[in-house]
Amino acid sequence: MYYYGRGSDMWNMGVVPFNAALPTGRIGLALSNDGGLSFARFKGPLPQGALFDPSDDPTSFDCVHIAVGDVFFNASLNQWLLYYFGGGLDEMPLVGFPDRLCKGVLLQPGLAISDDGIHFHHREGPILTVGDAGCWDQNGVSWPRVLQPSNPHSDQWIMSYHTRESGGMNNFGFFSAGIAVSADGKVWEKKGKVLSCGEPGTWDEGGVSVRHIVRYNGKYLMFYEGSNYKFDFSIGLATSDDGLSWVKDLECGPEPGGPVLKARKGEDVWDNVVVGTPYVIVLPDGSLRMYYLGVGKKEGDMATQQGIGLATSIGTDFRTWRRVCE
């Protein structure tokens, strides 16, 4: 499991994070000996055990902070590919706060390559740039999630990403997701915005942010993080026949898209504030496993804590989930 984290109140280049709750910064690795049910941190080759760090070049798009999007071994290339995103020293206003200029806000994806999955010796990017002024993704291209071809001789690579658009309730902004395609996983072409916020008052009225796509029984499933303007974050579902055109699922919950997994508000548990950032694996028996970010504050805690949780589908029913790690 590749993950991202931050060990101090400062990013690289001496930059103070514009959002104290955002855990981006460096990339690490954890390993499991029980089939992915529990993990232990792996001590990487970089200081404090990290695996991959922001660039030391102050002109680079990723010199302030980074986070992992997707990592996998590509057999045809005989290489590990790490798709990540990062922010640099360019200053730009936060969406919803036009007078607050911050560094590290402009997020764009990069690609790093490794022979062993541990030492990433080559990096390039941004491999997808922000849109021109006035475009829906002019504010950033973040959290790249990549789906490799099922048939390398005919299928295309698919990347999903999201941005925070200007506008929304009280001009606070909203999230939208887009798709890009590639023939080789390195050169990408944007196909446009594919999913955005629900109707006012719905569970995902604030938009669609971090998401993950899997192929399943001839269809494509997108599990996505949705939010409202009460700062409730949950995980929903959209479906597609081709991976390019998407609709929110109407069978998985009371509203379009669900949600299929919610924070356990009112309970004294570790994920009672937020759930999001889903990553889904299809198991050999047809069931699915979802790793997700949880935020919570248990009785006696001085502040909220973040962690990674696990839920599984009820058999092959990808609309119904139960937590494995309580």
What single DSSP character describes residue 17? P
Res 325 pLDDT > 90: no
Residues in Cβ contact with 185 at an 8 Å cutoff, skipping those fewer than 6 apart: 74, 81, 111, 146, 148, 157
Res 203 pLDDT > 90: yes
Q: What pLDDT shows up at residue 151?
A: 80
**Could you read off the pLDDT of 177-191 as tens digits, one per residue?**
999 999 999 999 999
Res 152 pLDDT > 90: no
219-227 and 233-240 strand pairing: antiparallel
**Could you read off the pLDDT of 301-321 as tens digits, one per residue?**
989 999 999 999 999 999 999
**Could you read off the pLDDT of 51-106 as tens digits, one per residue?**
999 999 999 999 999 999 999 998 888 999 999 999 999 999 999 898 999 999 99
Q: What pLDDT shows up at residue 16?
A: 96
Q: What pLDDT shows up at residue 121?
A: 84
Q: What is the CA radius of gyration of the chain?
A: 19
Please say whether the beta carbons of 213 and 160 come within 8 A. yes
Please give the Cα distance from 314 to 4 (Å, whole number).
Answer: 29
Q: What is the mean pLDDT of the chain?
A: 95
Burial 31-60 (b: 16+ CB within 10 A, else e): eeeeeeeebeeeebeeeeebbbbbbeeeeb
Of 235, 226, 307, nearest in space to 5 by CA: 307
pTM for the whole thing? 0.96
What single DSSP character describes residue 103? E
Res 110 pLDDT > 90: yes
Average pLDDT, integer, range 218-224: 97
Counting residues of the chain whose pLDDT is more than 90, the rounded percentage is 91
316 φ, ψ (degrees, to nearest 5): -95, 10
What string of H, E and C letters represents the secondary structure of 48-98? Answer: HHCCECCCCCCCCCCCCEEEEEEEEEECCCCEEEEEEEEECCCEEEECCEE
**Could you read off the pLDDT of 191-200 as tens digits, one per residue?**
999 999 999 9
Res 222 pLDDT > 90: yes
Counting residues of the chain whose pLDDT is more than 70, the rounded percentage is 99
Q: What pLDDT shows up at residue 137?
A: 97
Of 177, 127, 182, nearest in space to 157 by CA: 182
**Could you read off the pLDDT of 241-297 as tens digits, one per residue?**
999 999 999 999 999 999 999 999 999 999 999 999 999 999 999 999 999 999 999
Residues in Cβ contact with 233 at an 8 Å cutoff, skipping those fewer than 6 apart: 225, 226, 227, 263, 274, 275, 276
Res 155 pLDDT > 90: no
Predicted confidence band at 150 (pLDDT cuts at 50, 70, 90)? Answer: confident
Residues in Cβ contact with 75 at an 8 Å cutoff, skipping those fewer than 6 apart: none
